[in-house]
Structure 1
Amino acid sequence: METLERLQPNRQVTTFILTVFLSQANPAPIRYSVLEETESGSFIAHLTKDLGLGIGELNARSARVVCDDDKQRLLLDRQTGDLLLREKLDREDICGSVEPCVLHFQVFLETPVQFFEGELLIQDINDHSPVFPNREMLLKILENSQPGTVFPLKLAQDLDVGSNGLQKYTINANSHFHVLTRNHSDGKKYPDLVQDKVLDREEQSEFSLTLMALDGGSPPRSSTSMVRILILDVNDNAPEFVHTPYEVQVLENSPLDFLIVTVLAMDVDAGNFGTVSYSLFQASEEIKQTFSINEVTGEIRLTKKLDFEQIKSYHVETEATDGGGLSGKGTVVIEVVDVNDNAPELTISSLISSIPENAPETVVSIFRIRDRDSGDNGKMICSIPDNLPFILRPTFKNFYTLVTDSPLDRESQAEYNITITVTDMGTPRLKTQHNITVLGHFPGHLVDVSGTGTLSQSYQYEVCLTGDHRTGEFKFLKPIFPNLLVQDTEREIKESPNCRNTF
């Protein structure tokens, strides 16, 4: 109870002092200014003069200075009446981005109690540079983005204010982009990247630009951030074959699954748009049966035996398709190279039946030779043995005539076996042989016929089989007409017991 009674007068005194204090407050504040970061102990003002007090009054009345933030930032020299800085003032620490930055303080005097309001304007100096939140920004833009498109970028922060704060953005010179400085309603300045030119990812897939933020100080302070721009692909390019047409040569005896050629198509798009698959384009059944293509690797392989004599070259149309459905066309020209896989052929066109004994250069046979191979493989040499009274005469193109070179003499040699040999010039050399048997001693008489032939006259003849009648070989013995002379017919009949009078 006693304690409460003792405390009660104190409450009354306090109330009285505050009442007096408030009643003697000076309504007009005194104002000063100082640059931030000014050294501690620096002079701000002479309070004795500014407050209209007498010399020594500040000391006599125990004057003191109190700041609103309860931090002793100011110092009062009672002897001189000077208001000084107790410490360096950092405007950004005290006020942040608030402008103007004012430090409120009061000057208290006692006996009688009196106080004065004071304001210290802390002026900004350019002690901060603009700062970007990241040293590098990543921006992704579709390559079909149109000129005039705006891409907002991350802004820089400058703790300074006014003209010392961030003023503008710049970007290094380039033909595709420029930067604008956009003033926002919140007072901040934002960089906007503006596209100036059509983009082509295949021409340039990435840009590295230097974005610079500058303040308005003197000299200006700045900082930079790297803007890395990735151009995203759209499927605007079709695959293109590296070579077209491809021209290859393949031996006709190449084995199945032989690798003929590997085609390659390039698509400068990225990702799935640049992935290429291969196929045969509008291929005929012959092409489909003969060749296959690997849709991934582009390898074209042989699936059917080649035959130069049947088809000498192929035109294979190919197609490359990307993941977006665009395609490109190519051509592969496959030339089949001949190998010597065909022997020469000999075809009898005419075989003459009657050979007079005493008539040289009588035509025995006309025949044609050919070789289905090409080049040296198809070049031929035609020959007969040298020791026979016959010669070969080339006539027209690959036609030859077999003729007698001298009169035939039955008494010395009754028959002649002629082997016609046709050899090509390929490697290895291939040949064909054909045998003809000729019987001499004939004035229109006696020639053995093998194979095919024609009668020289439209007469009726007596003939006899010369051997196995199933071979169709026979002898012409004599004409039936009596006015034609036949020599030594009886002898011929005796030597040929198979003779008969009808045919």
Structure 2
Amino acid sequence: MEAGGLRFRRQRQVLFIFIFGGVSLAVSGFGRYSVTEETERGSFVVNLAKDLGIAEGELATRGARVVSDDNKQHLLLDSQTGDLLTNEKLDREKLCGSTEPCMLYFQILVDNPFQIYRAELRIRDINDHSPVFQDKEMVLKILENTAEGTIFRLERAQDSDGGLNGIQKYTINPSSFFHIKITDSDEGVIYPELVLDKALDWEEQQELRLTLTALDGGSPPRSGTTTIRIVVVDVNDNAPQFAEAQYETQVREDTPIGSLIVKVSAGDVDSGVYAEVSYSFFDASEDIRTTFQINPFSGEIVLKALLDYELIKSYKINIQAIDGGGLSARCTVSVEVLDTNDNPPELIMSSLSNYIEENSPETVLAVFRIRDRDSGENGKMVCHIQEDLPFLLKPSVENFYVLMTEGALDREMTAEYNVTITVTDLGSPRLKTQHNITIWVSDVNDNAPTFTQTSYTLFVRENNSPALHMGSVSATDRDSGSNSQVTYSLLPPQDPHLPLASLVSINADNGHLFALRSLDYEALRAFEFRVGATDAGSPALSSEALVRVEVVDENDNSPFVLYPLQNGSAPCTELVPRAAEAGYLVTKVVAVDRDSGQNAWLSYQLLKATEPGLFSVWAHNGEVRTARLLSERDAAKHKLVVLVKDNGEPPSSASVTLHVLLVDGFSQPYLPLPEVAPDEAQADSLTVYLVIALASVSSLFLFSVLLFVLVRLCRRNRAALVGRYPVPQRHFPDHLVDVSGTGTLSHSYQYEVCLTGGSGTNEFKFLKPIIPNLSVQDSGRNMGESTNFRNSFGFNIQ
């Protein structure tokens, strides 16, 4: 009956799974195997690989394992050979008690793909227990007038073995008064009964002793004995009578110890000692004796130990009432234990994987089973996890559940998940069990390094020392471990003429950039290159950023004087007529500076003069002019030292030496520089300006004609005057000076600078641009431009 109830509960559990499960995984058929109890550990049960039709090596690769219902490892699976072995000595009596047949239910779980094979193992009994009587001596009081054929039921012996190994018969030692009769009960248990063959006579024999032997059906059989002491009692006419032959009661399993279960009552119509009734258990098992206690005088049955519905659901107690004359009566008390929700659900983990790679597809993380030892609504369960997690909980058969990922995970978003599996029963009050699982997402290299800036601009002063730390680039990688270790490198420049390898180096570990050599602003003002960042993943991912290096100018170039050119040859000599007015343009010092910005802003000043106050130098354009009218008392030769200084910090300078020769009758002196018209003149009408302009042009034309005639007439006189002074009578070498656009001149020109003496024309050539590869027409045009440039300084040109 108990086995039938177990089957009914299992059927109901399977039905509940299919109703509430939703999704189930592949499940195989039902396997039945058997093994004899007390078999040594490691004994062969069956070859599961052959029985399930799976190759031997496939069991190991697919992670096959055995899961028992009671979560104990009674069996062991050799995944290499496929053999199912015993993991311990199996004691049928310990595992199943008196239940026959004794079954162990288990499942075989196989991954990839996930499958469940259900199976049962029957434990075959062996005769390893002898029959045992509860009492070493049984006492029977029999009235002397008891009729022949009267039957006295005896307490049976207990045998832990079952089936044929259980008790099969009882015997007593030979006696002329009694023999043993065997009776089968409704539960299939045999009871010994003592049958009176011959009337007793108290006067002849007041007491008899018999030996009762119980034999089981084992081979060889085992036996147990007890003594029956028969006390012959004088005549007692009436036996006790119970008020009810059958008592029934229901008790909650949480009933406290000491509570009254039921009270039985028996009466005896006799008087005196024969009417005194005492109560006791009759043929009670050890469970009854340890759980209940009866008051021998009142017949009250109270609870001696706590009840457990999950262990024993009902009790059948036999009560015996004996009067003072030895007569007895029996009744039965049926106690039904009522279930309460006193067992929380259990979660039994079968397999668990705490690590999963990010970007993995749907993956099984855990397989577990839930159970509740309660029954009815108290044993129904629901299982769930948090809703905000990327995991699914899929039910399977036999209360199995599978925890799996919903899709690919991203470690950079969440690297660790705490999953709480909650199992709640439907009892009142509801009980729940929570199981926490930590899932770690392992990294894959799915993120390339990212620079903190898309482009970097670095400023380096020229003339830096080699190995100067110019700056740094930095990139981060959202991955972890080796996938986030970033190394830096220089990428090939887009300009093939840029010698990047000799200019810059980079520290591969930290992105520090170093200048390999001293930079020169005048040679290289700025350059660009790209830097790459590569992680250590497999495959490696990389990114790049643009770096621009701006070379900052320093005042490392002194001004360079283009005119008058200072060299080892004879110095240039400037001729100034003594009739020159104040402000007469003697010459112009032309200088450039290869630096830029304020480092190339030049200023001029007269550092030293033979006669201070006679000449002055304009600070911004380097023009050397007379500061006053010349007189006959002024020396003929003058030496001027002009200082050219830039605006750098600290400033750099150069000096040039000028030789000035004052001559008589050299040429019509320059008129002084026209004064700036007063502000009032700007308000004159346009007609006045036109008249003045026309008069000026006419005057200049007439002046030019007269000047040409005078020069032709004074050629010989002028040559004689020059011969009186030690002026070198040789040609000066020509000098070609290349001036870049980095200084005060906006274009690159070559200038021819020289002074000729003793020539027929006495020509003074000043900053004549020399441009190669010009045609004849271009040369002529340039010569004209040169002539105009000379005329701007007021020299007579023939």
TM-score by length of 2: 0.46
CA change 1:442–1:133 in 2 (3 A) is: farther
Cα displacement (A) at 1:167:
0.8
CA RMSD of aligned residues (A): 4.9
Offset from partner CA, 1:176-229 (integer Å, 9 cap, x none)? 3355362433xx34362552x653322222233433221221110113233333
Residues matched between the structures, number? 440
Give, in whole Å, the separation in 2 of the partners of 1:317 and 1:17.
114
Structure 1 residue 207 corresponds to structure 2 residue 417: yes
Deviation of the 1:319 alpha carbon: 1.0
* Residues 168 and 181, structure 1, Cα contact 8 Å, conserved in 2: no
Counterparts of residues 9-48 of structure 1 (less than 5 Å) = 10-11=172-173, 19-22=181-184, 25-26=185-186, 34-40=251-257
What is the letter of the counterpart of residue 342 of structure 2? D
User: Structure 2 residue aligned with 1:91, among 309, 326, 339?
Assistant: 309
2: distance between equivalents of 1:286 and 1:43?
105
Q: Could you say if the C-alpha distance between residues 161 and 193 of structure 1 is closer, same or farther in structure 2, counting changes exceeding 3 Å?
A: farther
Contact 1:233/1:269 (8 A) holds in 2: yes
Instruction: Answer yes or no: is the 8 Å Cα contact 1:68–1:105 preserved in 2.
Output: no
Cα deviations by residue, 1:457-496 (Å, 9 ceiling, x for unpaired): 9x99999985798986998357499xxxxxxxxxxxxxxx
Q: Does 1:152 align with 2:366?
A: yes
Q: Percent identity?
A: 24
- Indicate conservation of the 8 Å contact 2:573/2:660, yes or no: no
- What's the offset of the Cα at 1:255? 1.8
For 2:470, the equivalent position in structure 1 comes to: 260
CA contact (8 A) 1:48 1:55 kept: no
Per-residue CA deviation, residues 59-94 of structure 1 (Å, 9 max, x unaligned), is 7998714238686445567878777654322234x3
Larger RCO, structure (CA 8 Å, separation 6 or more)? 1
The amino acid of 2:543's aligned partner reads G
Moved more, 374-383 or 81-90: 81-90
Instruction: Note the 1:58-457 alignment, pairs <5 A.
Output: 64-67=282-285, 72-74=290-292, 85-92=303-310, 94=311, 101=313, 122-131=337-346, 139-146=354-361, 149-152=363-366, 154-155=368-369, 158-165=372-379, 167-174=381-388, 176-177=389-390, 179-180=392-393, 182-185=395-398, 188-190=399-401, 192-195=403-406, 199-283=409-493, 285-324=498-537, 325-348=540-563, 356-358=577-579, 365=587, 368-384=590-606, 387=612, 390=615, 402=624, 412-441=634-663
1:440, CA displacement in angstroms? 2.9
What secondary structure sits across from 1:420 in the alignment?
Answer: strand
TM-aligned CA distance change 1:155 to 1:275, over 3 Å: farther
Change (3 A) 1:287 1:114: farther
SS in 1 for 2:635: coil
Per the TM alignment, residue 389 of structure 1 is displaced from its structure 2 partner at its CA by 5.0
1:254, distance to aligned residue in structure 2 (A): 2.6
| Shift of residue 416, structure 1, vs aligned partner | 2.3
SS in 2 for 1:434: strand
Paired with 1:438 and 1:289, the residues of 2 have a C-alpha distance of 51
Q: Secondary structure at the match of 1:476?
A: coil
Distance (whole Å) between structure 1 residues aligned to residue 426 and residue 490 of structure 2: 67
Deviations 1:333-365 (A, max 9, x none): 222222211111121289797655545577654
The corresponding residue for 2:757 is 476
Q: Is the contact made by 1:409 and 1:440 (CA closer than 8 Å) also made in structure 2?
A: no
Q: Shift in Å at residue 258 of structure 1?
A: 1.7
Q: Is the 8 A contact 1:169 1:191 kept in 2?
A: no
Going from structure 1 to structure 2, the CA distance change for 1:420 and 1:271 (only over 3 Å counts) comes to same
Cα deviation, residue 383, structure 1:
3.0
Q: 1:138-192: CA deviations, max 9, x gaps?
A: 833322134x655325555544344323612222341x3355362433xx34362
**Structure 1: gaps (5+ residues):** 1-7, 96-100, 446-455, 482-503
The 1-side partners of 2:269 and 2:731 are apart by: 165
Q: What SS does the aligned partner of 1:66 have? A: coil
Inter-partner Cα distance in structure 2 for 1:129 and 1:45:
30
Change (3 A) 1:329 1:54: farther
Q: Flag the 1:318–1:218 CA change in 2: closer, same or farther, 3 A.
A: same
Change beyond 3 A, Cα 1:426–1:10: same
- 1:372 deviates by 1.7
8 Å CA contact 1:67–1:73 kept in 2: the answer is no
Residue 275 of structure 1, CA deviation: 0.8
| CA apart distance, 1:20 | 3.2
The structure with the larger Rg is 2
TM-score by length of 1: 0.69
Query: Which one is further off, 423-432 or 217-226?
Result: 217-226
Counterpart-to-counterpart distance in 2, 1:151 and 1:478: 108
8 Å contact kept, 1:138–1:228: no
Q: In structure 2, how many angstroms separate the alpha carbons of the residues matched to 1:322 and 1:374?
A: 43
- 1:410 positional shift: 7.8
Q: Which moved more, 1:430-439 or 1:203-212?
A: 203-212
Distance 1:167 1:21 in 2: 46
Report the CA distance between 1:54 and its aligned residue: 11
Alpha-carbon distance in structure 1 between the residues aligned to 2:548 and 2:286: 94
Question: 1-side partners of 2:354 and 2:630: how far apart?
Answer: 105
Change (3 A) 1:21 1:28: closer
On the 8 A contact 1:348/1:365 being kept in 2, the answer is: no
User: Are the counterparts in 2 of residues 342 and 372 from structure 1 also a CA contact under 8 Å?
Assistant: yes
2: distance between equivalents of 1:290 and 1:227?
56
| Structure 2 unaligned regions, length at least 5 | 1-169, 190-245, 566-571, 668-710, 734-753, 763-798
2:460–2:550 CA contact under 8 A, matched in 1: yes
Secondary structure, in 3 states, of the residue corresponding to 2:663?
coil
Could you list the per-position Cα deviations for residues 363-397 of structure 1 after superposition, in whole angstroms to 9, with x for gaps in the alignment?
Answer: 65455322122222121102335736555569xxx
Shift of 1:291: 1.4
Aligned equivalents of 1:157, 1:64: Cα separation in 2: 38
Distance in structure 1 (CA, Å) of the matches to 2:180 and 2:292: 24
Contact 1:417 1:438 in 2 (8 A): yes
Is the partner of 1:273 in helix, strand or coil? helix
* Structure-2 change in CA distance of 1:46 and 1:389 (3 Å): same
User: Shift of the alpha carbon at 1:266?
Assistant: 0.6
Q: CA deviation at 1:21?
A: 2.9
- d(CA) in 2 for partners of 1:480 and 1:142? 97
What's the secondary structure of 2:599's corresponding residue?
helix
Q: Secondary structure in 2 aligned to 1:21? A: strand
C-alpha contact (below 8 Å) 2:172/2:179 kept by paired residues: no
2:213 corresponds in structure 1 to: none
Letter in 2 for 1:171: I
Structure 1 residue 242: deviation in Å?
A: 1.3
1:21 counterpart letter in structure 2: T
Write the distance in 1 (CA, Å) between the matches of 2:404 and 2:760: 116
